[in-house]
Amino acid sequence: MNDLPKSFRHIRLELAREPGNPEGDAEHGYDILAPLDGDYRIDTDTQKAHAGACRVRRFIDGETDAVGLLRHGPGGRWYFDYDPDRDDDDETGYRFGEERFVMGEYVSLADAEGEMHTFRVTLVETL
């Protein structure tokens, strides 16, 4: 990790309020390791140069549920790739290329079944 650019951040997303979870759920979310630019958006060029270091950990009930990579695909699509041999387990960030990863902001993700969920950015820290 010492050889990563200083723009890399640990980003934590926690499930925001939604039907079935009126208070949200701090035990359900993602830890992401990704480079951010000066506007706190994902830095595409740095991500491409360090694609293997852009990691994601999904947690449910506070326990690690899956580990994968943050990937950038055609048409500006950002997604979490948990198994490179499959694409039916991928989760897609809604407009991740435009989102600002700042504490308190909200981002949306479509799970592997295509159901959209909203998450709140609860942590952005340097490594």
Give me the helices (H) in the chain, please: 44-49
CA 89, 92, 97 angle in degrees (round to 5)? 150
Please state whether the predicted TM-score (pTM) of the whole model is above 0.85.
yes
Where exactly are the structural domains of the chain? 8-126
Burial of residue 91 (CB within 10 Å: 0-12, 13-18, 19+) is: buried
Rg for the chain, CA atoms, rounded:
14
Provide the residue-wise pLDDT of the chain in tens; the chain has 127 residues: 568 999 999 999 999 999 989 999 999 999 999 999 999 999 999 999 999 999 999 999 999 999 999 999 988 899 999 998 988 889 999 999 999 999 999 999 999 999 999 999 999 999 9
